[in-house]
Structure 1
Amino acid sequence: MNVPVAPGRSAVANAVYSVLNPIPFGFFVAGLVFDIIYARSGTILWAKGAAWLVAMGLVFAIIPRLVNLTQVWITSRRTSTHADHVDFWLNFVAIVAAILNAFVHSRDAYAIIPGGVWLSALTVLLIAIGQVIIAVRFPARREYRHV
């Protein structure tokens, strides 16, 4: 079985990052959907659900971001590419937007509209752009190691 491995990076760290990285994105997308439904319906259940989804997305974003921080800036500085750095900063700004979004969602009723929707959309857009950058960059420099 051939497994792509970035040079100079830990296989365990890559596995942990690969497993946990999509989870926050799913929570943030669901939060955006809930925000849009709340903006259109006015049912408070959707706003509370969006607040929980944003909070859970932030909780699950901690470990992959720490792994990414270590791999990009500390352990494999020489082998990380410009795309890795751009992805790191896009995810960093997205998490800051999600933190602000969590504060916006702590408000009552319609006070979260439109700020909650815009911050949710910004968070999802930034993470998606980072994933596209990594996806476009990664196949060009793929290295295989026989396991």
Structure 2
Amino acid sequence: MTSLRSSRYSALAVGIFALLDPLPIGFFTAAWIFDIIYVFSTEIAWTQAASWLIVFGLFLAIIPRLINLVQVWIGSDYPQNSPIKLHFWANALAIVLSIFNAFIHSRDAYAVVPAGVTLSTLVVVLLLLANLQLALRDRTA
């Protein structure tokens, strides 16, 4: 996220944020794809792999949000409806939905199908929309 590069922010924190921020999208998208594969194949290994991907995605999603929390919300001069703050809230909501999704994926494999696929879809769509609006923030029509 290029807007966090400023002299008042730690270069290490900005580097860690830039390194870890895109990783949860990959993990959650892979879990979503594995959930869809499970729907059509009913092979239990797909939903077990999806549950591990969700857990790894959650571990990697929390660190950038904490960095983002400190840099954007504490002592910043971003306006209230800033795309960066919207990006933060969309990612935070995706993390909350992923926590519920991790609990759903801890059930029996056959109980995962309706709710797990729906939550995985919501998480992926939310993350993609958050990153899309952040990427288009400087574009003028």
When the two structures are superposed, what TM-score results if normalisation uses the length of structure 1? 0.85
In the alignment, which residue of structure 1 is the partner of 2:50?
A: 50
Deviations 1:25-68 (A, max 9, x none): 11000000000000110000001000000011001112111111
| Contiguous gaps of at least 5 residues in structure 2 | none
- Look up the SS of the partner of 1:90 in the other structure: helix
Larger Rg: 1
Deviation at 1:12, TM superposition (A): 2.4
Identity percentage over the alignment?
A: 45
Go from structure 1 to structure 2 and tell me whether the alpha carbon gap of 1:30 and 1:49 turns closer, same or farther (over 3 Å shift). Answer: same
- Letter aligned with residue 105 of structure 1: H
Go from structure 1 to structure 2 and tell me whether the alpha carbon gap of 1:138 and 1:64 turns closer, same or farther (over 3 Å shift). Answer: farther
Deviation at 1:139, TM superposition (A): 6.6
Q: Which has the higher contact order (CA 8 A, sep 6+)?
A: 1
Does residue 60 of the first structure (1) align with residue 60 of the second (2)?
yes
Deviations 1:79-135 (A, max 9, x none): 466101111110011000000000000110210011101100111111111111111
Deviation at 1:15, TM superposition (A): 1.3
1:40, 1:19 → 2: CA distance? 34
In the alignment, which residue of structure 1 is the partner of 2:92?
A: 92
- Letter aligned with residue 78 of structure 1: D
Q: Is the 8 A contact 1:91 1:127 kept in 2?
A: yes
The structure with the largest strand share of the pair is 1
- Look up the SS of the partner of 2:106 in the other structure: coil
In the alignment, which residue of structure 2 is the partner of 1:18?
A: 18
Q: Is the 8 A contact 2:84 2:134 kept in 1?
A: yes
Q: Is the 8 A contact 1:35 1:116 kept in 2?
A: yes
Aligned pair count?
137
In the alignment, which residue of structure 2 is the partner of 1:108?
A: 108
Does residue 78 of the first structure (1) align with residue 77 of the second (2)?
yes
1:98, 1:4 → 2: CA distance? 26
Q: Is the 8 A contact 1:5 1:11 kept in 2?
A: no
In the alignment, which residue of structure 2 is the partner of 1:38?
A: 38
